[in-house]
Amino acid sequence: MSNLGFVNYKPATLHDGAEASGHGEQLNVTGYSAVVVQVIGITTASLVPQVTLDPTEVDWDDIQCVSEKDGSILTAITANGSYIIPTPGKNWFRLDLTYTAGTIYAYARAITFMPGTTLADIDIQGIADISTATNQTAQSTLFGAVTETAPATDTASSGLNGRLQRVAQRITSLIALIPTALGASGGLKVEEQEAVTVPTQITKTVAAAATPEALAADGTFFQSATYIGIKAARTNNAGTVYLGIGATNDTQIIPIAPGEQGVIQAPPGQKFDLNDFYLDVETAGDGLGLIYS
């Protein structure tokens, strides 16, 4: 294990040639991040890492340690080697020895990491070692088989290989659309949807002189209307007719001679209503032909 990341450390000997069960020496770890332990001399024994806030109390808590040899997480040390034990927030540390055989030495040092460094930053050989069969099986499940089928949808569960196949399929589909999406100059086409409008044709006649009538029912909207002074198809009026806004007699201000044509155009983006236009005649039965849309 590298010392990289340590600000300071405090050494101690917890067991010095022990040949009987016992708690050993206590190490004050107040303000330290972890304890590194080197154990030698074990034939048959168990060392359990323990911590407490108050060493005068009998309540010591068993904690786990990590083997620096293979990264395994242990509840007890039963073999010679180096181990690291996190102790943040604790005050005292010890190794509780259950002895059977051997002459046991346990050396420890409390360490403090540099600001921003955690236990995960320390290089412990073997943690999540991909070379083990168990971890290879777990990783294989996550990666997926080389021939894994792509998921049916973008959000369906899949291994990494299947997900990548799905992404590749989607990219291929997008690439296939590019040629048809390009215009003659190479840019993307932007096509406006043009509405097709069929004009409407009507002939409006007025039954009696001096009695103005609306050109159509309420809600007959138009943007443009062409009118002609006729009372039937190909039949001109007998006299002049008058067109205007309002139903009162003699208020229509546009005179239209027999056969005369004109256009009524609404402002861009707006429409008129034929119901607002009134026709007055001098000769009963005269009228107005209209083509509008």
* Under 8 Å between Cβ of 25 and 108: no
**Are 53 and 100 within 8 A, CB to CB?**
no
Expressed as residue numbers, the domain containing 62 is: 6-121
- Tell me how many helices (H) and strands (E) the chain has: 2, 20
Predicted confidence band of residue 128 (pLDDT cuts 50, 70, 90): very low
Q: What share of the chain has pLDDT > 90, as a percent?
A: 59
pLDDT surpassing 90 at residue 14: yes
Indicate whether 85 belongs to any domain: yes
d(CA 84, CA 32): 13
Let me know whether 113 and 210 are in one domain.
Answer: no
Residue 183, in any domain of the structure: no
**The pLDDT of residue 8:** 56
194 inside domain: no
Question: For the chain, where are the alpha helices, taking DSSP H only?
Answer: 133-143, 160-181
pLDDT at 207 > cutoff 60:
yes
Number of domains within the chain: 2
**Cβ within 8 Å of residue 67, ≥6 positions away:** 73, 74, 81, 82, 83, 124, 126
Q: pLDDT tier at 277 (50, 70, 90 boundaries)?
A: very high
Which of these three, 121, 137, 168, is where a domain ends?
121
Report residue 6's pLDDT band, with 50, 70 and 90 as the boundaries. Answer: very low
Q: Kindly report, residue by residue over 210-254, the tens digit of the pLDDT.
A: 999 999 999 999 999 999 999 999 999 999 999 999 899 999 999
Q: Which of 77, 96, 121 is the last residue of a domain?
A: 121
Going by pLDDT thresholds of 50, 70 and 90, the confidence category of residue 141 is: low
State which of 121, 150, 174 marks the end of a domain: 121
Residue 63 lies in a domain: yes
Distance (Å, rounded) from C-alpha 220 to C-alpha 216?
6
Identify the pLDDT of residue 9.
67
Residue position matching structure tokens 């002074």? 229
pLDDT in tens, 64-81: 999 988 889 999 999 999
Per the listing, tokens 């069960």 go with: 21
- Asked if residues 215 and 288 have their Cβ atoms less than 8 Å apart, the reply is yes
In the prediction, which pLDDT does 122 show? 52
Average pLDDT over residues 20-36: 92
Q: Answer whether residue 175 is part of any domain.
A: no
Q: Is residue 136 part of a domain?
A: no
* 188 part of a folded domain: no
Q: Say which CATH number the domain at 237 has.
A: 2.60.120
Strand partners, 40: 105
In a domain, 96, yes or no: yes
